[in-house]
Amino acid sequence: MEVVIVPDARAGGELIADAIAALLRRKPDALLGVATGSTPLPVYQALAAKVADGAVDASRARICQLDEYVGLPPGHPESYRSVVLREVVEPLGLPASSFMGPDGSAEDVQAACEAYDAALGVAGGVDLQLLGIGTDGHIGFNEPCSSLASRTRIKTLTEQTRRDNARFFDSLDEVPHHVITQGIGTILDARHLVLLATGEGKAQAVADTVEGPVASVVPASALQLHPHATVVVDEAAASKLRLAPYFRDTYAAKPKWQGL
């Protein structure tokens, strides 16, 4: 696992966008796994700017979802499908056909989970999966004590998570109780995992993920098992890392040809 400490969220977004751009130059039809929420927005904004400037051609890129609400009607503005189309697919100038995600409105949700998990494999696997992290160490909607071998499945949202997400809806009553999420085992199938964390509120989760034991109580700690996992954190999110000086030194001495 590589840990990169950057000055702020904007710098983190630029760094990850550079890595995605380099990937697209090597593999123009790369499958990019995206996360929702405010944390990854600087990445999408920086990547869209590179596309607009002609610095990278993303026209053949493919985009896939990390998770989706269950029960929202197709086209609901707060479905994660709509959010990804609005914040990633459209700004990159990609057609809707470049996007793949689970069907949260399916009558048979379990079958939809299995179908999406299989579809990721048929598509050749995720080349780079962008992740955020919860204050409790969750990734996707894999809450603490999720199986580290779990596949795409339905999960019940905790009351706190529903309250946290209520700001995107007119009321708490409108927030779904269930989601489809890639499991931790599914996430670990990606060739490169990139976790972005910003803000002091994420500092303990980052420290537990990077320096603590691999344990299901901190789902993100599973990244320690991956052969190519990168954790990008701003100064505030890095504030509880005991090995921060080591991480700074190793990144400063890293050969440029290695990339992210």
Q: Distance between CA 252 and CA 101 in Å, rounded?
A: 37
Catalytic-role residue among 14, 103, 127, 143: 143
Cα of 157 vs its chain's centroid, Å: 18
The DSSP H or E segment spanning 210 is helix 203-211
CA angle 3, 150, 71 (to 5 degrees): 105
First-to-last C-alpha distance (Å) of the chain? 11
- Please indicate whether residue 67 is annotated as part of the active site: yes
CB under 8 Å to 244, separation ≥6 — which residues? 5, 238
Q: Distance between CA 82 and CA 103 in Å, rounded?
A: 12
- Please indicate whether residue 76 is annotated as part of the active site: no
DSSP three-state, residue 51: helix
Report CA torsion sign: 144, 131, 147, 178.
positive
| Tokens 């927030």, residue located | 175
Q: Distance between CA 6 and CA 8 in Å, rounded?
A: 6
Catalytic-role residue among 136, 174, 189, 211: 136
Burial of 74 (0-12, 13-18, 19+ CB in 10 A): exposed
- Please indicate whether residue 136 is annotated as part of the active site: yes
Catalytic-role residue among 14, 67, 68, 208: 67
Q: Tell me phi and psi for residue 30, to 5 degrees.
A: -55, 145
CA angle 229, 62, 118 (to 5 degrees): 75
- Please indicate whether residue 234 is annotated as part of the active site: no
Catalytic residue positions?
A: 67, 136, 138, 143
